[in-house]
């Protein structure tokens, strides 16, 4: 009898251990899936392709935050806003299968149901005060419909009307008119403080071997800032209005990018005259490559630039929270730039960017 008990206890221990291991594996896989969801968050505004040695800069650090896409919603969770309503076309017909996401939080998305109903939630406590105007981007690719709808801070019920979408096209070339394959295009949503708008599951569109690009499913009746960039080239930025579209097509013509075949090098020093490491150095002049390069351990830096005068901005935040910044304006090819950092009032410009 004692042997029988021993066998039973052994089997129970084995099963319990197996279940524990299974729970661990499932928990690990859930964590991996959650990470994948977070990685799907729409990227930061202003990110344009730059050379491999440069690191992409941003216009606003708010979107670097990772927002929970599938956190449970409860009545007690007052910080979580739940938005709901009905998706229709201009004739009032319910639209099933429309994809919706919250601008700047692409991991937070849903689809409309049979009667056009939708529900989507966002933890407001994770949103910067400057981005409390929430925009819901909705589109139906099969019907070529799209919209961008603003919901106020107190709004919770919001019906959405889809309109015929706009499709943008154009060409990206160098100064000699030659196409730049794989050059990139970003649409920034002007009404939402510079957020890069995600269309068709992407925020960046690449030009083909002919330098031609197409951006589909753009919500109409809005203004956009369009940025162009490419490895080894400068950048260009234009403003467009979807009202200029003809038969749903917005032709943006040719965007010319200059080659970034010049260099600028120098050192960034603190008030004591010593080189400062890990300072972010930006090229601020129009047409220059977008992004920044960090100084090395001695405070030195080298940037690829386009020919011409270049305005440089260096910035770092000390551990005590004080913002140090410096500026310089030099010609391309200059090798002995010296930028002196000084305490500056933090006005939100040229903020050190988080990764």
Q: Give the pLDDT confidence of 286-340 residue by residue, as tens digits.
A: 999 988 999 999 999 999 999 999 999 999 998 888 999 999 999 999 999 999 9
- Tens of pLDDT, residues 178-196: 999 999 999 988 887 667 8
pLDDT value at residue 56: 37
The three state secondary structure string of 125-160 is HHCCHHHCCEEEEEEECCCCEEEEEEECCCCCECCE
Average pLDDT rounded to a whole number, residues 49-66: 31
8 Å CB contact between 315 and 283? no
Beta strand pairing call for 117-123 and 105-111: unpaired
Mean pLDDT, the chain, whole residue set: 78
Selection from 128-132, 196-200, 259-263 with the highest mean pLDDT: 259-263
pLDDT value at residue 40: 26
- Tens of pLDDT, residues 254-291: 999 999 999 999 999 999 999 999 999 999 999 999 88
Average pLDDT rounded to a whole number, residues 209-232: 94
Average pLDDT rounded to a whole number, residues 149-177: 93
pLDDT value at residue 5: 41
* Residues recorded for the chain: 355
Q: With left for phi above 0 and alpha for psi between -120 and 50, is residue 217 left, alpha or beta?
A: left
Confidence band, pLDDT 50/70/90 cuts, at residue 204:
confident
pLDDT exceeds cutoff 80 at 162: yes
Can you tell me the distance from the alpha carbon of 246 to that of 348, in angstroms, rounded to the nearest whole number? 38
pLDDT value at residue 132: 62
pLDDT value at residue 152: 78
Confidence band, pLDDT 50/70/90 cuts, at residue 128:
low
Confidence band, pLDDT 50/70/90 cuts, at residue 45:
very low
pLDDT value at residue 207: 96
Q: What pTM was estimated for this model as a whole?
A: 0.70
Can you tell me the distance from the alpha carbon of 154 to that of 83, in angstroms, rounded to the nearest whole number? 10
Range name among 14-18, 79-83, 90-94 with the lowest pLDDT average? 14-18
pLDDT value at residue 194: 65
Confidence band, pLDDT 50/70/90 cuts, at residue 41:
very low
pLDDT value at residue 158: 94
Q: Which long-range contacts (CB under 8 A, 24 or more apart) does 235-239 make?
A: 235/48, 235/287, 235/288, 235/289, 235/290, 236/287, 237/286, 239/190
Range name among 125-129, 243-247, 315-319, 327-331 with the lowest pLDDT average? 125-129
Tokens 């909705």 belong to residue = 138
Q: With left for phi above 0 and alpha for psi between -120 and 50, is residue 128 left, alpha or beta?
A: beta
């Amino acid at each position: 009898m004692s042997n029988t008990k021993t066998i039973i206890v052994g089997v129970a221990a084995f099963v319990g251990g197996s279940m524990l291991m299974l729970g661990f594996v499932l928990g690990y896989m859930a964590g991996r899936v959650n990470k994948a969801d977070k990685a799907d968050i729409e990227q930061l505004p202003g990110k344009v392709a730059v050379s491999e040695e440069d690191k992409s800069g941003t216009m606003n650090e708010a979107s670097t935050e990772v927002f929970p896409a599938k956190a449970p919603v409860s009545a007690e969770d007052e910080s979580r806003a739940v938005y709901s309503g009905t998706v229709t076309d201009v004739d009032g017909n319910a639209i099933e299968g429309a994809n919706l996401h919250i601008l700047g939080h692409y991991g937070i998305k849903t689809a409309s149901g049979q009667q056009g109903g939708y529900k989507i939630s966002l933890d407001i406590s994770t949103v910067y005060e400057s981005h409390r105007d929430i925009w819901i981007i909705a589109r139906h690719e099969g019907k070529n419909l799209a919209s961008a709808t603003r919901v106020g801070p107190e709004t919770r019920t919001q019906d959405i009307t889809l309109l015929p979408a706009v499709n943008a096209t154009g060409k990206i070339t160098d100064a000699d008119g030659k196409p730049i394959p794989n050059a990139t295009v970003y649409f920034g949503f002007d009404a939402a403080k510079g957020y890069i708008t995600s269309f068709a599951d992407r925020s960046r569109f690449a030009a083909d071997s002919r330098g031609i690009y197409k951006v589909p499913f753009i919500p109409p009746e809005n203004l956009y800032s369009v940025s162009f960039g490419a490895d080894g080239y400068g950048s260009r930025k234009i403003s467009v209005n979807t009202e200029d579209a003809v038969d749903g097509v917005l032709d943006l013509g040719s965007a010319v990018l200059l080659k970034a075949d010049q260099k600028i090098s120098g050192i960034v020093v603190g008030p004591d005259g010593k080189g400062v490491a890990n300072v972010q150095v930006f090229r601020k002049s129009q047409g220059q490559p977008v992004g920044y390069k960090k100084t090395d351990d001695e405070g030195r830096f080298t940037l690829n630039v386009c020919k011409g005068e270049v305005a440089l901005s260096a910035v770092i935040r000390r551990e005590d929270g004080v913002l140090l910044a410096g500026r310089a304006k030099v010609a391309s090819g200059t090798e002995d730039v010296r930028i002196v950092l000084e305490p500056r009032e933090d006005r939100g410009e040229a903020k050190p960017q988080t990764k």
